[in-house]
Every structure is written in C-alpha cells, then in structure tokens.
Amino acid sequence: MPDLIKYLCVWTLGLLLPALLPGTGFCRPIEMPITIDYPFLRSLVVSAAFTEPQDTAVLVDQAEGCRRVAVSEPQFSPEGDFVRMETRVDIRLGARPGEECRFKIHWEGYVSLVMHPRIDPESWRLGFVVLDSQVYDQAHEPARIVGLIWKMIQGKVFDYLSGITVDLAPPVQELKALLPEVLAGQDEEKVARFVDGMHPAQVRVDSDALRIPILAELEETPPVETAAPEALDEAALARLTGQWEDWDIFLVYLLTSLRNAPLSADERETLLTALLEARYAFVKTLADGTLTDRFVQDQFVATWTAIAPVFLSQRDRETTTGKLLGYLSFFTATDALKSLQAIGPSLGMEISRNGLIRLAGLLADERAFAWGYGADVDADLRTTFELGQALEIPAEPVVEPTPEEMLLLIRLERLLKRVLSGFVSTCWADAPQPSADALTRWLITPENVDTYIPAVQKILDEAAEKAFQASASEADRKFVRAAVLATAWQESCWRQFHVRKGQVTYLRSYNGTSVGLMQVNERVWRGLYKLDALRWNIRYNAAAGCDIMNLYLNKYVLKKQDKLPGDGRPDPALVARVLYAMYNGGPGEFGKFLSRHAKEKYYHSDDLFWEKYQWVEAQDWNKVKLCLFGEE
C-alpha cells in the first residue's frame, strides 16, 4: 500500500507541476465551428453539382435528348441525426431510329434520400452516406415505377447524388492563415503547432444547420497578473485608438460591400444602427477613460452578431462558387474569432490590421481595400444606408453691412489683428480658409451679440426647413425647429468659432470629438459628412446637424412611435427630448431615454436640453447670453 500511495503522489505531482512552475503553460482545447445552415448547404451543393440552368444536373443526354436523365432543385432538411435531401427527377427514355424519338417513356417525380453527413479529416471534404431512399410521383405520393425507370434511378440518380461532396478545405486554409495574425500574443511555434493540429470532429446535425467542429489544442501560457494602471499613458491610448480606427475602417468596408444589394429598409436600418452604436460606444469609452485591449475584440463580436443576419440573407442569393466559398470562409473565420474571444485575455488575441485585411479579402469584393481613416464623404456608405446625395457645401453669402455693422466689423477686425497677429497662416493650415468677413461675422462678442443671435437663428431655421420639408408636416416642423434651436443652444451656445490659445478656430467639444454649431461628432459621422466643412462652414455644420436629426426622426422615432407614451399622437415635446437624447448618444438612447422618462430620473444633459427647449418655445433669446457671458 505505501508504494501505491507513493506512486499516486508522484503521478499527481507530474500532472500538476507544469501548471505550478512559473512560465510554463498548459494545453487548452479549443473548438471552432464551421456552420452551414440548410439554405446555404443547398447553395453549396447547387454550385458544386447542379450547374445547369434552373439548378439542374443532366446525368444522361443521348440521341439528341431522346434518352435523358436529369435531377434538379435539391432541398435539404434535418432528419433526426441525419440529413434529408430531396430532388426532382426527370427521366425520358426512347429510341431514335430516324429523325423522331419513338417509344418514349417519360417519368417525373422526386427522390428523397436520408443521408449521414461525414467529413474526411485529410481532404476536409463533406460527403454523405445514403441510409434510406424513397421515390415519389409528382403529387408527392409513393411512386410505383417500371423496372427500367427504377434501374435508371438506382444506377444513375442514386450514384450521382450519393457522390456529391462539398470542399471545406478553402475556409479551413483561410482560417489557418488568419490565426497567426490574431494570436500575436502567443509564441509563434505554439501557434504553428496549434494550426497544424487542427482537425475536424464528427459532423453534428442540428435543427438549423450542420456544424463541423474544428478541434485543436493551444499551449497556453497563463498571464502574469499585474495591477491595472490607473490611466492609459499617451502611447497606450494612441495604440488602442489606432486599433479601433482600423476596426472602424474594416467595418465601413464590410458594410459597403452590400451597397448594391437588394436590402430591405429594416436591413439597412440594422446596418446603420450597428455602425452608429459601435462609434458612439467608442466615443463614450474614450471620454470615460475606460478603453482597454479587449474593447475592439468585444465590439467586433457584438457588431458582427448584430449584422450577421443581413449578410446571411445576401449570402443565400449568391450562386458563384468563388463568392459562396468566400462567404463560408468569412463566416467560419468570424465564428472562430468569437470562440477565441470568449476564452478571455489569456490567449493574447488581437484583432490586428493584418487580420482585418485578410478578413476583408474573403468577401471577394471587386474594390481594392484602401486603408485610411479618411475625412471625406464616402459615397458607398451613403448608398448602403440610402441617405441620398451628400450635402452640398454652401458658400458664405456676401452681405452688405449697415453703417453701424461696418463700424463694428472694423473695430473687431482691428482688435483681432492686434491681439492675434499672424493667426490666418496658422489657424487654417491644410483646411479651407474662411474669408475675413466670415471670421468677423461668426465670432461672437458682447458688442455684436444682438445681431449675431438672429443671424445664427436664421441659419438654423433655413437648415431645419430644408432638412425636414419633405419628411415632416407643417405642425411637426414647428416642434422640430424648436428642437434644432435648442440642440444648437445646448451643444455650442450657437457658436461655430471661438478664440483659443490666441488663435481663432472652430469650436471643439471637451473630449475632442464633436465640432461646430451643432457639435457634430466627427468619429460617429465619419464618411457621411465632410469633416473639414463641418469645422469651417457654419451653414454646412447646421445642415449636417439637421440632417442627422431628420434621420433619427424618420428612421427611428416615427417607426417606433407606438412605443411612446400617450394616446394617439405623441407629445411633440417628448419627441423633441427623445430626438436630442439620440442625437447626443445614438440610436440606443430611444429606449434608454423612455426608461428614464418613465422613472423621471433624467441625465443632466436631458434636463439642460429641456430647459433650452422651453426657452426656445418662449422665444427668450436673451438667455443665450447666459452661456456666452454668464449674464442676460
């Protein structure tokens, strides 16, 4: 007995020692699924084996069609632990002693096969073993057929159908190429062994799809626990921001791959919501100082989960083998990343730029993947969301000032020249330069405030009228106009420019993301509006802000107005408050604000906007001076 106890102790210590010694690792089993739902399985099989028109495969075609056997229109469904494939069959048997086909036998019906799916571990080919079969006539009743036709079905049809395979090697190879890019935190040799050890498990037949688990073991090194830093240093912040910008570039490329797809309005809204929510979440996280290495991974998974159904619907419309395999490779890769992300930070996973570039290549899009966090309007992005043509950049109109205004402008210009000598050459470097007239007109001072307020009010009124004239009734435009004025009041105190550190520049938010009169968020609306114009053109900024509010009103609020409290027509003031909450925080604020409203527990920003909205309705414009100068 003592020898047995000693043996057990040594054996147990041998098992535990690798995990106890510093720097050693352990093998973590990892499962990454290939998921093929039944509509997609049909598409893959049609692409591989039913290549004639109307999804047909011609098995026999002799004597100029006198002897012809064809199968067509395969359908797949689960059958317990197996798969059922049903296909139409068309058999024509005859002889052609001359120019005419004689003694012709024509039979049409269906063949149904119950099959066991299996995967070849060497070739990664998905095949099927026939376990049972049935033959039906055109009325889908069990068929009684003559021996000759049965012979053709057994000898040609069954052999052909049971020999169909689907090549899964391409998506697996793509996944193997991607994994080293996203597991950069692991030792290269360990990752290579992980990739080389990938092998398929038994095919699982589920009610919605076939699933082929890819199994592998990764020699994982447990991370050394360290205290989390209180705040990111500049280098870490720049690195994480760069990672998110790479992800945002990829997401735009992904969404615009559907720019010409026949999407429904709801599908387009799903894509737009996903983009906006991802961007608003980053802006909030950046402002809160809570950005981490996991942020991009978590957002990648959450965003892809939200938009995957739209891509699934488009995938099933494809017919070319290359695009089908591209979709399968893309879905396999993204599902693998979801599996890896769920394990946690110990894997050292990173959604790298190289990994995103490789993923983008799987979409088989004819466009080149141009890398760059651009500031111009992306026409493809606006097309994807059906937002119409990009806003025009309005020119600053030439207005002849009154003698009193002329005197004021001269005094202001002299003051600026004395205090801010040389500012023009530095303020507008690499940006459109506003004229001196625009500069003096849109810099607010105690001397010009009484002419400035109505001038800005006119800009906002015109922008609101143009944005909402086609989508809102005259009654709706009244409260929307009030919402626009209150939003500009709350966001910027009706300012486009101000003096900062001795320079005249555009107004920028405290967290550096939003600009100008309507404080349009540059990160959230990148690609949909021109960033330089948002900064330096007050009329364009006003037009963009109104355009965004119009988008939220029509694509979200009015579509969900049945969720607003009240009988019949919603309270316009409540709609205005919901609009501002969404303008400030994204589509998700629709439900969040209504929850706050029901509990009467509002954010401070909710209360501040409501205060401004009531001032607008009362036309108490003197209160603008409160946020400008601290007095009326």
pLDDT band at 371; cut points 50, 70, 90? confident
Residue 254's CB is within 10 A of a number of other CB atoms, namely: 22
Percent of the chain residues past pLDDT 90, beyond the cut:
53
User: Three-state SS for 85?
Assistant: strand
Instruction: Band the pLDDT of 486: cuts 50, 70, 90.
Output: very high
Q: How far apart are CA 449 and CA 441, in angstroms?
A: 10
* Range picked from 3-12, 17-26, 250-259 for highest mean pLDDT: 250-259
Higher-confidence residue: 606 or 223? 606
| CA-to-CA dists, residue 341 to 92, 200, 295, 336, 614, angstroms | 56, 20, 11, 9, 48
Are the CB atoms for 296 and 349 separated by under 8 Å?
A: no
Q: What is the 3-state secondary structure (H, E, C) of 448-498?
A: CHHHHHHHHHHHHHHHHHHHHCCCCCHHHHHHHHHHHHHHHHHHHCCCCEE
The arithmetic mean of pLDDT across residues 119-148, rounded, is: 89
Give the whole-angstrom CA distance, residue 89 versus residue 112: 10
Cα distance between residue 483 and residue 613, in whole Å: 6
Give the residue with greater pLDDT, 520 vs 448: 520
Task: Give the pLDDT mean for 547-555.
Answer: 94
Residue 19, pLDDT score: 40
pLDDT surpasses 60 at 8: no
Is the pLDDT assigned to residue 630 strictly greater than 70? yes
Cα gap 201→213, rounded to integer Å = 5
pLDDT of residue 425: 36
pLDDT band of 7, cuts 50, 70, 90: very low
Domain covering 35-167, topology:
Bactericidal permeability-increasing protein; domain 1 (3.15.10)
Residue type at 210 in one-letter notation:
L
- Region 13-41: mean pLDDT is 68
Residue 553 DSSP class: I
Dihedral sign, CA of 587, 592, 595, 596? negative
**For all residues of the chain together, what is the average pLDDT?**
84
Amino acid at the residue 254: L
Those residues with Cβ within 8 angstroms of residue 51's Cβ, 6 or more apart along the chain or in another chain: 57
Q: CA 437 to CA 405: how far, in whole Å?
A: 12
Q: Is residue 15 over pLDDT 70? A: no
pLDDT at 556 over 80: yes
Topology classification of domain 403-629: Lysozyme (1.10.530)
Is the distance from CB of 389 to CB of 381 less than 8 angstroms? no
| DSSP H helices in 420-448 | 423-427, 436-441
DSSP state of 431: S
Q: 342: pLDDT confidence band, cut at 50, 70 and 90?
A: confident
Task: Please count the helices (runs of H) and the strands (runs of E) in the chain.
Answer: 23, 14
| Residue 198: predicted pLDDT | 94
DSSP letter assigned to residue 220: E
Q: Token pair 């020898």 is at which residue?
A: 3
DSSP code per residue over 346-408: GG-----HHHHHHHHHTT--SS--------S--HHHHHHTT--SPPP-PPPPP----HHHHHH
Q: How confident is the model at residue 348 (pLDDT cuts 50, 70, 90)?
A: confident
What is the average pLDDT across 432-438? Answer: 57
Higher per-residue pLDDT: 541 or 440: 541
Task: Tell me the CA distances in angstroms from 286 to 280, 281, 528, 592, one per residue in order.
Answer: 10, 8, 21, 21
- Cα–Cα distance, 215 to 250 (Å, whole number): 28
Residue 430 pLDDT exceeds 70 = no
**pLDDT tens per residue across span 72-130:** 999 999 999 999 999 999 988 877 776 778 767 888 999 999 999 999 999 999 999 99
Closest C-alpha to 292, from 242, 221, 237, 346? 237
166-170, 333-337, 369-373: least confident range: 369-373
Break the chain into its structural domains and give their ranges. 35-167, 168-185+232-390, 403-629
Which tokens hold the place of 338? Answer: 């979801």
Question: What's the token pair of residue 344?
Answer: 């946690």
- Tell me the β-bridge partners of 504: 499
292 DSSP β-pair partners: none
Q: Looking up tokens 């093929």, which residue turns up?
A: 36
What backbone torsions phi and psi does residue 133 show, to the nearest 5 degrees? Answer: -150, 155
Q: What is the mean pLDDT of residues 496-502?
A: 85
Q: How far apart are CA 82 and CA 205, in angstroms?
A: 6
Q: Which pTM value belongs to this model?
A: 0.84
Beta-carbon neighbour count of residue 438 at 10 Å?
A: 18
Q: Which of 217-226, 427-436, 484-493 has the lowest mean pLDDT?
A: 427-436
Per-residue pLDDT at 17? 40
- Write the single-letter amino acid at 130: V
**415 band by pLDDT with thresholds 50, 70 and 90:** low
Residue 508: DSSP 8-state? B
The pLDDT of residue 255: 95
Mean pLDDT of 596-608: 95
The label of the residue with tokens 């009734």 reads 473
Q: Are the C-beta atoms of residues 444 and 452 closer than 8 Å to each other?
A: yes
Measured between alpha carbons, how far is residue 259 from residues 210, 311, 550 in Å? 30, 12, 22
Q: Is the pLDDT of residue 276 over 70?
A: yes
In sequence order, the 6+-apart residues with CB closer than 8 A to the CB of 16 are none
pLDDT of residue 366: 72
Confidence of residue 63 (pLDDT cuts 50, 70, 90): confident
**Measured between alpha carbons, how far is 31 from 251 in angstroms, rounded to an integer?**
26
Can you say whether the dihedral through the CA atoms of 131, 136, 140, 143 is positive or negative?
A: negative
- The band of 499, judged by pLDDT with boundaries at 50, 70 and 90, is confident
- Tell which residue, 414, 524, 519, 480, has the closest CA to residue 616: 480
Residue 267 has pLDDT above 90, yes or no: yes
Q: Which two tokens stand for residue 542?
A: 């006003």
Q: What is the pLDDT of residue 52?
A: 92
The per-residue pLDDT for 204 is 96
pLDDT band at 16 (very low <50, low <70, confident <90, very high): very low
Distance separating alpha carbons of residues 107 and 101, to the nearest angstrom:
15
What's the burial of 35, exposed, middle or buried (CB within 10 Å: 0-12/13-18/19+)? middle
The helix or strand, by DSSP H or E, that contains position 7, with its residue range, turns out to be: helix 2-20
Q: Is the pLDDT of residue 414 over 80?
A: no
> Quick one: pLDDT at residue 628?
83
Rounded mean pLDDT, 129-153: 86
